[in-house]
Amino acid sequence: MIKVSAASSSNSLWGKKLAFRGRPCMWQLQPDVVVPALQGFSVCTRLRLNVATEWTGFVYKAPGGRDIELGLGGTGSQLAVWLFGEEKCLEKELQLHQWHSVCLTWCGQARRLRVYVNGTIQQEAYVNALLPEALAPNGTLTLGVTHYVDSNGEVKQESGKDLLGEIGLFRMWSREWSAEELRRPLCYADGDVVSWDLRQWKYNCDPEPDNNIHCDTGLTEGLPAQPAHMSTTGETLDLNKFAKPENCLEEATSTIYGKYIWPETFPQVKGEILCRKPKRNRAYRLCKLDIETDSTSWDAPDMKRCNPIVTISGLDNITVTTGNTAEVVGMIQDLVDVQLGDSGELSSSDLDTVVEKLSEIVDVGTQAAVGADVLNIVADILVSKTDITPVAGIVLNLTENLGNTMDFQGESESVEAPLLAMSMINVDPNGFGGLTFGVSSISQTLNPEEPHTTNATQSSWKLNSYVVSASINSSHVSNLEDRVVVTLSHHTPEQGGWNSNGCETQNISPNRTSCLCDHLTHFAVLLDVSRSPIPISETDSKILTVISYLGCGISSIFLGFTLLTYLLFEKLRRDYPSKILINLSSALLGLSMLFLVDTWLSSFRNYGLCIATAATLHYFLLASFTWMGLEAVHMYLALVKVFNTYVPSYILKFCAVGWGVPLVIVSLVLAIDKDAYGDGVPENAKLNLQSNDPFCWLQNDVFFYVTVVAFVLLVMVCNICVFVVVLVQIRRMRANKLSANSRSSPLDLRAVASLTVLLGLTWSMGFFSFGPGRVVMMYLFSIFNTLQGFFVFLFHCLMKENVRKQWRIHLCCGRFRLNDHSDWSRTVTAGGHGKKNNLVNSAPSDDTSSTRKVSDSSTQDEHI
């Protein structure tokens, strides 16, 4: 709930800070605080960065505007300033865990912007004349986060660029301050446009007192301060106009050092007291004077010379009860802060003690505020140099139990720390219909990586990645009807969104899980019959992926040329072989194109679209093999069968089989189980193929082996048999020719290559991709099969005389152009008109010369 401060005796925020620790925290300007159209202004803020992320100091936006009118932010410790929608980056680096003063001044008449850091000017820039001179009035202003205004006029927080640190001051004046003025203490001069006062702000997280904020060092760290009695204009201040400040009263300090009773001390005077152990050392504490509120307060004590009475090892003697959990958690936080501040890490024994005591606290139950403190302690240990590997399992169980035992009001509660986040929801079992949740990280130092082993024996594993879990109290979940999807994304400032290393883990079925993290998908995924768990190297996977996409791209281009050639030139498609070739080229083109766009379509994460893509890819794969098989049938009828064969509607029946059989198979798979298709490879295949990019394809092993492997194997066996028989038949016919002695070898090589391409015999290499030569076979498989379309163009367009003549007749000019009435164009092909179109072999059984004539003039020329 947004809090609106009411008038009180002291509304000044001086001596307080706004802590942004990753929890929802937004400070926004009250709607009744009007920012006028300023042609000159000065804005100063004091901030400290604790984590190097993309951060926001403040953002001011014009009414209804989306661009940042005025803002301060950065990436890591680098600085960036926005003015009138333009971003200006500075080379200045802000050190982490240190307070910094940043001031922006603007002179509209000179169109000059100046940026000061810790009192020193860092940049002076002149703005484009096309941009406004004055700041847009009546805008919205937020601190620590960026924002937008919804349709109801409500200011809403935008996530992803939140400050992880503190803001100790923010003020705005209606004129440009000079460099000399900015070097003076600004604690005496409140802003005349926006002041550091509770009455001007709406907020959902309370300010915290910070006794380290001093007037003489607040905005001028590292610079010589002006005397405290001087005003911002150089005039002497009359301190008598302030009421006499009270002295600091006695107050106890931290429990880990004991109950120290500090003596009464006057303002601006340090109070000191002997340490409990050893007696010769002293502790110091400053009594601070707030000149605006005319009140005094204790600064944080300097206990460096004192040894704590309670140590981490002493936690073992503390019994945790439901009544003292908050006190024990506070004590643990103090001890951990001291230890991490001294050495940067916890020893193994101290880590065990802290984790054990936190587990006891979680077991007895906690409130939401105490649970948040526990989560912060765990986060502090995670970001330190402490090796948590020995207690990693305990920490995971601790965080899960924390959610189970935490007591909170309302329907839900979220607890967040810089590296951890937890959300609890109370649900009604009778009305629960499902849950969707997401997790994001804005840390630049953590990237999703694969788990790796910590030693050569691989006996223990160290997880070096994000860990996400979801649990239901006292419940066991199994046999889910719907898939569970968890998406992990890494936010990077340079992208302004999620980077390409995003990792999606999905539960494809209640008993199968696959992790899709890499971006590698090569052609072998279509026909890897072994699905062996033996992996291949990442280098081989990347090379195979490049080969696959390059080969399919080349084939798609040349298959398009082939189809255009045969469809444009009517004389080329009069015979049966050409018509079969057109259908085969169409199927191969569809297969290549679908493979190229499959990963892109699956990236939309649309379940229905992915099923349609996988089913279409399956269809074109089956259609390609069906037409390869029909090529073999036609060759057998044309070259081997010696009887007159009359087949009515010959090509029409071939089309019904070539396009209809794949359609029936795919329709049956969809009817039986549409979830057989999806955006992942099978569980074993993801290991050996490294094809972990979202890829829409058959996931079910049974359907894959029955509808793909068995189908392809059947076609390959038939095609190999026809291949051998056709080569023997052609060899016999050429042996009777007188010219065979001079041209036999080249023609035989061309015949073998041409038939291999048409019959798709190179696909048989997919059945041998296992064992020691598996990687080699995968390379050969990817090269030859992705380039099948190119080879079709090479042997059946580029190397065919009748195709080249058609090109020369219609596409060439001058002396390269042929006459359209050349002798070859009048040659009668095997597919004439009328009933002759239905004669597969027109030669009688006893006329050997006729058989040879048909074979030489048609089949040999068309297929070889």
- Which two three-digit tokens encode residue 791? 């080879």
Q: What are phi and psi of 569, to 5 degrees?
A: -100, 105
Q: In sequence order, what are the residues at sequence separation of 6 or more whose Cβ sits closer than 8 angstroms to the Cβ of residue 71? A: 56, 57, 58, 59, 60, 81, 82, 146
Which range among 84-93, 276-285, 448-457, 602-611 shows the weakest confidence by mean pLDDT?
Answer: 448-457
Tell me: pLDDT of 664 over 90: yes
Tell me: pLDDT of 686 over 50: no
Torsion of CA 112, 115, 119, 122, to 10 degrees: -100
306-345 exposure pattern, b = at least 16 Cβ within 10 A, e = fewer: bebebebeebeeeebeeeebeebbbbbbbbbebbbeeeee
Torsion of CA 630, 634, 635, 639, to 10 degrees: 160
**3-state secondary structure string, 89-116?**
EEEEECCCCCEEEEEEEEECCCCEEEEE
More confident position, 88 or 234: 88
Give the Cα separation of 619 and 658 in Å (integer). 11
Task: Collect contacts of 240-247 with beta carbons under 8 A, ≥24 apart.
Answer: 242/291, 242/294, 243/294, 245/289, 245/294, 245/295, 245/296, 246/295, 246/296, 247/287, 247/296
Question: How many C-alpha atoms does 172 have within 13 Å on its Cβ side?
Answer: 20
Residue 817 pLDDT class (50, 70, 90 cuts): confident
How do 54-61 and 140-143 pair as beta strands? antiparallel
Q: What are phi and psi of 547, to 5 degrees?
A: -60, -45
Q: Mean pLDDT, to the nearest integer, of 407-424?
A: 76
Give the Cα separation of 12 and 400 in Å (integer). 41
What's residue 721's pLDDT?
A: 92
What's residue 265's pLDDT?
A: 66
The answer to whether the CB of 234 falls within 8 A of the CB of 185 is no
Tell me: pLDDT of 406 over 60: yes
What's residue 61's pLDDT?
A: 93
Q: How does pLDDT run across 142-174, given as a tens digit for each residue?
A: 999 999 888 888 898 887 788 999 999 999 998
Of 223, 230, 234, nearest to 121 (Cα)? 223
Give the Cα separation of 263 and 246 in Å (integer). 14
Question: How many C-alpha atoms does 491 have within 13 Å on its Cβ side?
Answer: 15
- Token match 């992320």: residue? 53
Q: Mean pLDDT, to the nearest integer, of 214-225?
A: 40
Percent of the chain with pLDDT over 90: 23
Q: How does pLDDT run across 337-347, given as a tens digit for each residue?
A: 888 877 888 88
Percent of the chain with pLDDT over 70: 68
Q: How does pLDDT run across 716-749, given as a tens digit for each residue?
A: 999 999 998 888 887 777 676 644 455 566 667 7
Please report how the helices 368-383 and 348-364 are oriented relative to each other, as an axis angle in degrees rounded to 10: 160
Q: Mean pLDDT, to the nearest integer, of 533-558?
A: 85
Residue 786 pLDDT class (50, 70, 90 cuts): very high
Q: How does pLDDT run across 225-239, given as a tens digit for each residue?
A: 333 333 333 343 333
More confident position, 180 or 401: 401
Which range among 160-174, 361-375, 534-548, 845-859 shows the weakest confidence by mean pLDDT?
Answer: 845-859
Residue 832's CB is within 10 A of a number of other CB atoms, namely 13
More confident position, 469 or 578: 578
Helix (H, G, I), strand (E, B) or coil at 35: coil
The answer to whether the CB of 652 falls within 8 A of the CB of 580 is no
Tell me: pLDDT of 394 over 50: yes
Tell me: pLDDT of 655 over 50: yes
Helix boundaries (H) for 636-708: 650-672, 685-688, 701-704
The answer to whether the CB of 42 falls within 8 A of the CB of 172 is yes
- Which two three-digit tokens encode residue 113? 């912007």
Which range among 51-65, 513-527, 564-578 shows the weakest confidence by mean pLDDT?
Answer: 513-527
Q: How does pLDDT run across 590-647, given as a tens digit for each residue?
A: 999 999 998 888 888 788 899 999 999 999 999 999 999 999 999 888 877 755 567 7
Of 780, 811, 793, nearest to 554 (Cα)? 793
Alpha-carbon torsion 509, 510, 512, 514, what sign? positive
What letter represents residue 715's amino acid?
V
Q: Mean pLDDT, to the nearest integer, of 465-489?
A: 63
Residue 45 pLDDT class (50, 70, 90 cuts): very high
Helix (H, G, I), strand (E, B) or coil at 640: helix
Give the Cα separation of 97 and 341 in Å (integer). 12
What's residue 227's pLDDT?
A: 36
Residue 773's CB is within 10 A of a number of other CB atoms, namely 11
- Which two three-digit tokens encode residue 9? 């005796």
Of 494, 439, 493, nearest to 161 (Cα)? 493
The answer to whether the CB of 845 falls within 8 A of the CB of 642 is yes
Q: Mean pLDDT, to the nearest integer, of 187-209?
A: 84
Q: Mean pLDDT, to the nearest integer, of 185-212?
A: 81
What's residue 216's pLDDT?
A: 42
Tell me: pLDDT of 857 over 70: no
More confident position, 51 or 292: 51
What's residue 202's pLDDT?
A: 92
Per the prediction, the chain carries an average pLDDT of: 75
Residue 116's CB is within 10 A of a number of other CB atoms, namely 21
Residue 267 pLDDT class (50, 70, 90 cuts): low
Tell me: pLDDT of 133 over 70: yes
Which range among 121-130, 175-184, 576-585, 754-763 shows the weakest confidence by mean pLDDT?
Answer: 175-184
More confident position, 639 or 4: 639
- Token match 């620790």: residue? 21
